[in-house]
Structure 1
C-alpha cells in the first residue's frame, strides 16, 4: 500500500512564530522580489529560489503551506515540479496548495494547470490585492483572524438585536452541519452547495474565520468536483467547532 502524505497539522513548524510558510520559485529577479516582499508584508514566512530543480528539492525536504511556481523556469517548470511532488509520498510538501504564475496564460494552459493540481493561477504582473485574494481563496485564513468579528456583523446587520438573532440561527445551522459533515464530505456536489449558503450566513454574522475556510473549501470542490482530502475537512471542522463555541459563549 502506498503510504499517505504527511499530515501538515502533525509536522513541526520551522518558524518559532508558527507563521504560514510559502515557497516562491521564479527565475525573474523582479517578480521574485515583489512576491517575497509582498508576502512577508502580509505576515507569511517566505523562502525563494530561482529554478524548478531547487523548488522541487526544497518542497521535498521542508513543509510549505503553499507553493507559488513559475510556469517557465530553468530545469523544470511549474507543472513538472508539482507532478514530481504529488507522486513522491515522502515529500513534505507533497499535498501543499500549488499556485502557478506566468506572464502568458492562455485558456489551454489554465486547463492543463488545473488538471495537474494547481489551485489557482496568477498572471504576471499581478497586483497586491489579487495576490492576497488568491492566498485567502486557496489557504483559507490564518489563526490570527477572529472567529467572530462584531464590527463586521454590525455593519452587515445594522443593529445589535438583529445581529444576535442571526447569530442564534447560525448557531443552530452549524450544530446541524457538524452532525452532517462526514456524510457531506463524501458528496462533493451537496457539500459545495452547503458551503455556498454558509458563506453568506457567515458574512452576515461576522464569522470571519469560518467564512474564509468555507470559501477556500468551496472553491476547491467546484474546481476539482472530487471528494475533499481529509486534512481540508479536518481544518474546516476545527473552525466550525470553534465558531459554535464562540456563538454559544459570546464575550
Structure 2
C-alpha cells in the first residue's frame, strides 16, 4: 500500500492496548492508542483513521457508544471508517447486536496476529464480510431460481450504467441519493448483499452530509465493480 493504514486502538486495559498497537505496527499500520471512550471520540473526530479497534467496556463510553457518536457526527473525520469491536467476553447475542450496529467485525480477546491480519484484510477489501451474491437470500425473496436469474440480468445492466455515471453523480448528491434508493431495492431482490450494505452506508453518509472523508464512496465503487464482475461470471452470455 502506498500509504500506511491508520488505526486507533481504544482500550482501558494496558496489556491489551500495548499488544494491539505493537501488533498492528508490526503489520505495517500507523497505530496509536487511547484509554477510554471519550478520548476515542475526541481523537477520531479530529483525525482521519482507516480502522477503529474499540473495546466494548471502556470508562465513559463503550464501543457502541463511541461508534454511534462518530457515525452521527457530520464533521467527524473518522465517521465512516471501518470499526471493529473488541471484548474479552462475548456471547452470540452480543456479537449479533454489535454486527447489526455497523461494526464490520467483532474480535475476541486475547487475539493474535492472524486475527489482526484478517481485520486488515477487511479494511483493504472495503470493510464488509457480506457475500457478493447471496443465492439463498435472493431465492427466499423472489421464490424461484429462474426469476432470480432474470432479475440479476437486469441488475447487471443497472449496475453497469451506474458505474459509468458514478463520477458525475458524485458531484450531484441529490441525484446519487435517488439512484441509491432504487438500487437498494434491486440489491435486496437479487441477493447482492455486499453492495446492499455499502449502498446503505453511502445513503447515510449523504443524508448526514459528512464532509470529513470520501471513504464510503470509494468502498461503494469497489463493491459495485466487484458485484458487476460476479454477475458477469455467473452469466457470461
Are 2:117 and 1:128 aligned?
no
**Among 154, 160, 170, which residue is 1:179 paired with?**
160
CA drift of 1:27 comes to 1.0
Is the counterpart of residue 22 in structure 1 residue 7 in structure 2? yes
SS in 2 for 1:55: helix
Kindly report the root-mean-square deviation, in angstroms, between the aligned alpha carbons of the 2 structures.
3.1
Q: How many residues align?
A: 165
Q: Structure 1, residues 149-184: CA drift from partner, whole Å, max 9, x if none?
A: xxxxxxxxxxxxxxxxxxxxxxxxxx9897255589
Q: Is the 8 A contact 1:188 1:225 kept in 2?
A: no
Structure 1 residues 23 and 177: alpha-carbon distance in aligned structure 2, compared to 1, 3 A threshold? farther
Q: In 1, Cα distance between the equivalents of 2:34 and 2:198?
A: 33
Q: Which of 71, 86, 89 is residue 104 of structure 1 equivalent to? A: 89
Alignment match, 2:23: 38
Deviation at 1:96, TM superposition (A): 1.2
Aligned 1:42-81 pairs, distance under 5 A: 42-81=27-66
User: Using a 3 Å threshold, how does the CA distance of structure 1 residues 29 and 45 change in structure 2: closer, same or farther?
Assistant: same
Aligned to 1:204: none
Per the alignment, in what secondary structure is the counterpart of residue 125 of structure 1? Answer: coil
Whole-Å separation in 2 of the counterparts to 1:188 and 1:86: 23
Task: Measure, in 2, the Cα distance between the counterparts of 1:179 and 1:88.
Answer: 33
- What residue is the counterpart of 2:170 in the other structure? none
Deviation at 1:228, TM superposition (A): 5.0
Q: Distance in 2 between matches of 1:130 and 1:139?
A: 15
Kindly state the Cα deviation for residue 239 of structure 1 after the two structures are TM-superposed: 8.4
TM-score by length of 2: 0.60
Deviation string 1:121-150 (CA, Å, 9 cap, x unpaired) is 000001211221122134417xxxxxxxxx
The verdict on how the C-alpha distance between 1:19 and 1:178 changes in structure 2, with shifts beyond 3 A counting, is farther
Using the TM superposition, give the Cα deviation of residue 115 of structure 1 relative to its aligned residue in structure 2, in angstroms.
2.7
TM-score of the superposed pair, with normalisation by structure 1: 0.57
Stretches of structure 2 that go unaligned for 5 or more consecutive residues are 127-155, 164-178, 203-215, 229-237
Unmatched tracts of structure 1, length 5 or more: 1-16, 142-174, 194-217, 242-251
1:97·1:139 contact (CA, 8 Å) conserved in 2? no
Change (3 A) 1:106 1:90: same
Counterpart position of 1:200: none
Instruction: Answer 1 or 2: higher relative contact order, Cα 8 Å, separation at least 6.
Output: 2
Name the SS of the counterpart of 1:118 in structure 2: coil
